[in-house]
Amino acid sequence: MNKFDLNIDKSEVLRYLGYKYQLIDENLSKMIDKGIKEIKELSRPRYIIDYFEISKENAIIKLEGDLLYLEGKDIYKHLINSSKVVLLAATLGIEVDRRISYYQKTDLTYSLILDACATQAIEEVCNILENDIRSKLKKENKGLTYRFSPGYGDLSIDIQSRFINILDATKKIGLTATSDNILIPRKSVTAIMGVVESNISNEKIGCIGCSKYNDCNFRRVGEGCGH
């Protein structure tokens, strides 16, 4: 899995930290560089990708063999043009969590920075994987919708455990969910992407179309989540 030569874009890290072009002194800047370096060393990106046929019945999306039901109008819209989906699970591994916990006790500022670096790292891992899938599908004249995770919009986060079981992700990459559906290791992602014909436009929903419009943390500070 050496394809994860992560960059950990500093400007994205700053965005997670709520940065809005304030003056940054050298100390802080160095601290962020150190965080980026440390997360690169600590991360052990692992992932699973699997393809499933889907069918739609009464506005519910079903994975083949009734493995999983996806309910909600947002996911329905997301997969409206798809008859096949990609399930993705990816994680940076538990050492990242341990180090962030460590610094929470010794250096709160740095732990905050490390957390932001790790968030960016798992995003980059997912971007790399998504691009891989995308370019593979392109050869078949197919496209891909963006990554839609359990808990987005009105798709219940309760499917998390089932999702993990379907991919056998605990055994294969060490990914677990708590009984409240929080992924552990913390810097992990599960997501659903729809396979579409390449002529179908694949636009991001943007803020207006998002059902979290009213309570989005990014939007509150004048940003977007990138979707």
Partner 1 sequence: MIVISGEWVKAVDIREYMKENIVVFDGAMGTMLQRKGLKSGVLPEVLNIEDKDTIIDIHRLYIKAGAKVITTNTFGANRLKLFDCKYTLEEIIKAAISNAKQAIEGKEIYVALDIGPLGQLLEPMGTLKFEEAYSYFKEVVDLGVKYGADLILIETMTDLGEARAAVLAAKENSNLPVFCTMSFEQNGRTFSGCDAVSMTLTLQGLGVDALGINCSLGPQEVKPIVEEILRYSKVPVMVQPNAGLPKVINGETVYNISKNVFCQSLVELCNKGVGIVGGCCGTDETFIEKLSKEVCNIKPIKREIKRVSAVCSYSKTVLIDGVRVVGERINPTGKKLLKEALRNKNLDYILKEAINQIEAGADILDINVGLLEIDEKNVMVNVIKEIQAISNIPLQIDSTNKDVVEVALRFYNGKAILNSVNGEDKVLETLLPLVKKYGAAVIGLTLDERGIPSSAEERIKIAEKIINRAKEYGIDKEDIFIDCLTLTVSTSQEQTLETLKAIKYIREKYGVNTVLGVSNISFGLPRRDLINRTFLAMALTSGLTLPIINPLDKDIMDTINSFKVLNGEDLNANNYIKTYINAIDSNKTPNKVLEGDNSKYDLHEIIIKGLKDEAQNATKELLKNKQEYEVINDYIVPALDWVGNKFEKGEIFLPQLIQSAETVKKSFEVIKSKLLECGKGSELKGKIVLATVKGDIHDIGKNIVKAILENYGYEVIDLGKDVPKEKVLEAVLKHDVKLVGLSALMTTTVKSMEETIAYIRQKREDCVFFVGGAVLNKDYAKMINADFYAKDAMEAVSIAKKVLG
Residue ranges that bind partner 1, judged by CB under 8 A: 17-20, 22, 25, 27-28, 31, 50-51, 63-65, 67-68, 93-95, 97-98, 101-102, 104-109, 111-113, 115, 151, 157, 161-162, 164-168, 170-171, 173-174, 176-182, 184-186, 214-215, 217, 220
| Beta-bridge partner residues of 62 | 55, 69
Instruction: Return all residues near 57 (Cβ < 8 A) that are at least 6 apart.
Output: none
Name the residue nearer to partner 1 (CB basis): 58 or 179.
179
Rounded to a whole number of angstroms, the minimum distance from the CB of residue 129 to partner 1 is 13
Name the residue nearer to partner 1 (CB basis): 80 or 132.
132
User: What is the per-residue DSSP string for 79-114?
Assistant: TTT-SEEEEEEEE--HHHHHHHHHHHHH-HHHHHHH
Question: What is the C-alpha end-to-end distance of the chain, expressed in Å?
Answer: 27
Name the residue nearer to partner 1 (CB basis): 58 or 214.
214
In whole angstroms, give the CA distance from residue 187 to residue 77: 27
Name the residue nearer to partner 1 (CB basis): 44 or 200.
44
Give the pair of three-digit tokens for residue 184. Answer: 């552990």
Rounded to a whole number of angstroms, the minimum distance from the CB of residue 57 to partner 1 is 19
Name the residue nearer to partner 1 (CB basis): 78 or 99.
99
Rounded to a whole number of angstroms, the minimum distance from the CB of residue 98 to partner 1 is 7
Task: Say how many CA atoms lie within 13 Å of 167 toward its Cβ.
Answer: 28
In whole angstroms, give the CA distance from residue 67 to residue 69: 7
Rounded to a whole number of angstroms, the minimum distance from the CB of residue 37 to partner 1 is 17
Name the residue nearer to partner 1 (CB basis): 63 or 128.
63
Give the pair of three-digit tokens for residue 164. Answer: 């993990």
How many C-beta atoms lie closer than 10 Å to residue 139's C-beta?
Answer: 7
Rounded to a whole number of angstroms, the minimum distance from the CB of residue 223 to partner 1 is 13
Rounded to a whole number of angstroms, the minimum distance from the CB of residue 21 to partner 1 is 9
Closest among 51, 69, 50 to 60, alpha carbons compared: 69
